[in-house]
Structure 1
Amino acid sequence: PNLLILAVASVATGMTWTVFLLARQGFMIDAVPWGMRGRALSTLGGTHRIGMFLGPVLAAPLIAAHGARSAFLFAAAMSGLALLLVLRVPDLGGAARAEARADPASMRQVLHAHRRALLTLGVGALGISALRGVRLTIIPLWADHLGLSPANVALIVGLGALLEILVFYPAGALMDRAGRVWVAVPTALLLGIGLLLIPSTGSLRALLLASLVMALGNGLGSGIVMTLGADTAPRVHRAKYLGGWRLVADLGATGGPLLVSGVTLVAGLATASVVVGAGGVLVAGWLAQWVGALDRARRGPGRPVDERMRE
């Protein structure tokens, strides 16, 4: 009924969504064998994309028939069904939590202990998240600049989402069989190249091609941020580490569009797209260095990955 209640509800859904993202990632680490982690987490990211694709499709006729409020009732019903599923899921993390209670550590201590992973791989995850956030911002803005209709924008976004759905599982298999670097680097590179191409587009077809380049990169990267976080997460105090990892990635997701706003204000939207696109190429180089090191550490014998990454 008013802005205050809307704001409170938005904050509540944002907080609970973040907790759910961390919980599902932690559960998958416990539930899935190490050698299938890439496929499992890319599939998790892929199912999220399928839901993002199907949600508006299913809600559209409800909105047309009963108004916008019906979409929120539909979302609440889907949340209720998800709750029923979650209640049937076994708790696999009890032993690790018991160890954490026996050896308590603050959030600051946990993140400091794993600072090397956060300042190397975490920065790469921040870059990927920033590129993804910018992609979602740039496409509708540039479409508006070209004078395209909302239906055209929906077509561009929908075809991009379909391409992402088609490639998420092969990307997971590639992560497991060849290494994380073979997904992380193309993800950043294709997102960066797509952003570099956007200022040269002057029609629906050209913008669609540029957006599909970015969609291919984003689909290949389905689950890559979660997988890198899972690979470096310790067994004890995992939730605190993943919370810090998620914070770093979210800083990129929010900071990327803010960067676009700042550069656009000074030099225009085309320049902003080129600047961030060039940054994507640099992010790809950073990921090649540090994700390559992670892959070598994963293949090495002995200690857990997070210990080897600290050296």
Structure 2
Amino acid sequence: MSSSSVASAEPFSLRRIAVSAFGPSLLFGIGEGAILPVAPLTARDLGASVPTAALIVTLIGVGSLVSNIPASLITMKRGERWAIVAAALWSIAALAMCALTGHLGLFAAGAFMVGMSQAVYSLARQSYLTEAVPPEHRARALSTLGGSMRVGLFIGPFLAAAAIHQYGIGAAYAVGIAALICAALLGARIPDLVHAPHPAGDAPVAKPSLLGVVGEHKHLFYTLGIGVLLVSAVRTTRQAVIPLWADHLALAPSVAALIYGIAGGVEMLVFYPAGKVMDKKGRLWVAIPSLITMGIPLLLMPFTTGSHTLLLAAAVVGFGNGMGSGLIMTLGADHSPRHGRAHFLGVWRLMADLGSTAGPALLSFITASLTLGAAIGATGLLAFAAAAQLAYWIPRSPRSGH
């Protein structure tokens, strides 16, 4: 077990740390899932046009994108545990602002703040588990971390729907705030990491700078980092293509929502087995099959003609995406240095978020220039490009790490 792990002479067990490690992630997912479906509706109620409402929801992703580097500084200065608590409190303030304001500008600011809190929380959570979990259990831990967030995102809209039915649209924000209060309380109980004492007589290691970490690992960011960017682009774009193609096929919105929900449910079935394969066999054994499993149905989706064939394609895409749960975090953890880990992971997450932003933009550009079918097919080709990039640059050893 790593010297920086939560110390114990007993064999490591993910089950023993499950509540403190994955509970906040589940609750964060519930909080976000509760408000995502209603955020554009609230913006519309405040006077936004449809394009403006969509843009305001996009501010959540923009807030996360621009906050990755500040998140690394906060985590380095305050530590993982209190960064997690601070992120939950910041998100609570953001949701309260969104729920109570009657001004569209303040609502947009609240959406941006939600994205900021996501960046801080996600980086602190990944950094904590990278330190606390031995390398031989790393992929399972980070896959479960990603999976627990997805479970929360799946549950959140249902809880919000029940609350809205009883009390109106503002109740969705109350559900989100309640989940985040629980996340903050649970985060405050996370055990502190126990670091190995500094050897007597050795000079203390200077705190690394952000620019120093970037310079030391620039080759990795140019190579494997580009693969991560492509993976993120495919993952984010696949969320948009299912409802867009359902609309193209003139399916009822309820049918489109059902197909989307089933695809999300399939994703949750495979995250732990995929993590176990990564730990036992190596990262490539999951990375390449995951992307190919997404790429093939995305290439074929423009040829679907009804709800049944679209459901099949969407479910296979969901299965492939679920296989890759935690992959980006695991690769980042594998290559992150002991000193300056938060800085490294901040840049790693920045590259992933750049992909998440670029993917939907590319979908929009190709749709406007050619057709929606061509854009979906291009997303499938992007998945194969990501697979080729990772196949070349992921180390062939079963695990790599520091």
What TM-score do you get using the length of structure 2 for normalisation? 0.71
**Which runs of structure 2 are paired with 1:112-261 in the superposition (5 Å)?**
112-261=215-364
Residues 209 and 340 in structure 2, CA contact (< 8 A), matched pair in contact too: no
CA displacement at 1:285 relative to structure 2: 1.5
Report which stretch shifted further, 269-278 or 221-230: 269-278
Cα distance change on mapping 1:203 and 1:254 into 2, 3 Å = same
Counterpart pick for 2:133 among 32, 42, 56 = 32
RMSD of Structure 2 on Structure 1 (CA): 1.9
CA displacement at 1:297 relative to structure 2: 8.0
CA distance in 2 between counterparts of 1:298 and 1:168 reads 18
* Aligned-pair identity (%): 45
CA displacement at 1:79 relative to structure 2: 0.2
Gaps of 5+ in 1: 300-304, 307-311
Gaps of 5+ in 2: 1-101
Decide which structure has greater helix share.
Answer: 1
Q: Does 1:91 align with 2:192?
A: yes
CA distance in 1 between counterparts of 2:233 and 2:329 reads 15
Q: Deviations 1:100-125 (Å, cap 9, x if unpaired)? A: x9513332221121112212221111
CA displacement at 1:91 relative to structure 2: 2.2
Q: Deviations 1:180-202 (Å, cap 9, x if unpaired)? A: 00111112112211210111011
CA displacement at 1:203 relative to structure 2: 0.3
Counterpart pick for 1:71 among 172, 177, 188 = 172
Aligned length, in residue pairs: 297
Report which stretch shifted further, 143-152 or 113-122: 113-122
Residues 280 and 398 in structure 2, CA contact (< 8 A), matched pair in contact too: no
> Aligned residue for 1:302?
none
Higher RCO, Cα 8 Å, sep 6+: 1
> Aligned residue for 2:112?
11
Amino acid in structure 2 at the alignment position of 1:24:
R
Amino acid in structure 2 at the alignment position of 1:14:
G
Residues 30 and 93 in structure 1, CA contact (< 8 A), matched pair in contact too: no
Counterpart pick for 2:148 among 34, 37, 47 = 47
CA displacement at 1:139 relative to structure 2: 0.8
CA displacement at 1:242 relative to structure 2: 0.3
Q: Deviations 1:153-209 (Å, cap 9, x if unpaired)? A: 121111111111111111011000110001111121122112101110110001111
> Aligned residue for 2:93?
none
> Aligned residue for 2:68?
none
CA displacement at 1:94 relative to structure 2: 6.3
Residues 27 and 93 in structure 1, CA contact (< 8 A), matched pair in contact too: no
Counterpart pick for 2:159 among 58, 64, 73 = 58
Cα distance change on mapping 1:93 and 1:113 into 2, 3 Å = farther
Residues 127 and 342 in structure 2, CA contact (< 8 A), matched pair in contact too: yes
Residues 128 and 187 in structure 1, CA contact (< 8 A), matched pair in contact too: no
SS of equivalent residue, structure 2 residue 270: helix
> Aligned residue for 2:182?
81
Q: Deviations 1:224-264 (Å, cap 9, x if unpaired)? A: 00000000000101001000000000011110000000111
CA distance in 1 between counterparts of 2:216 and 2:239 reads 34
SS of equivalent residue, structure 1 residue 89: coil
Residues 263 and 314 in structure 2, CA contact (< 8 A), matched pair in contact too: yes
CA displacement at 1:141 relative to structure 2: 0.6
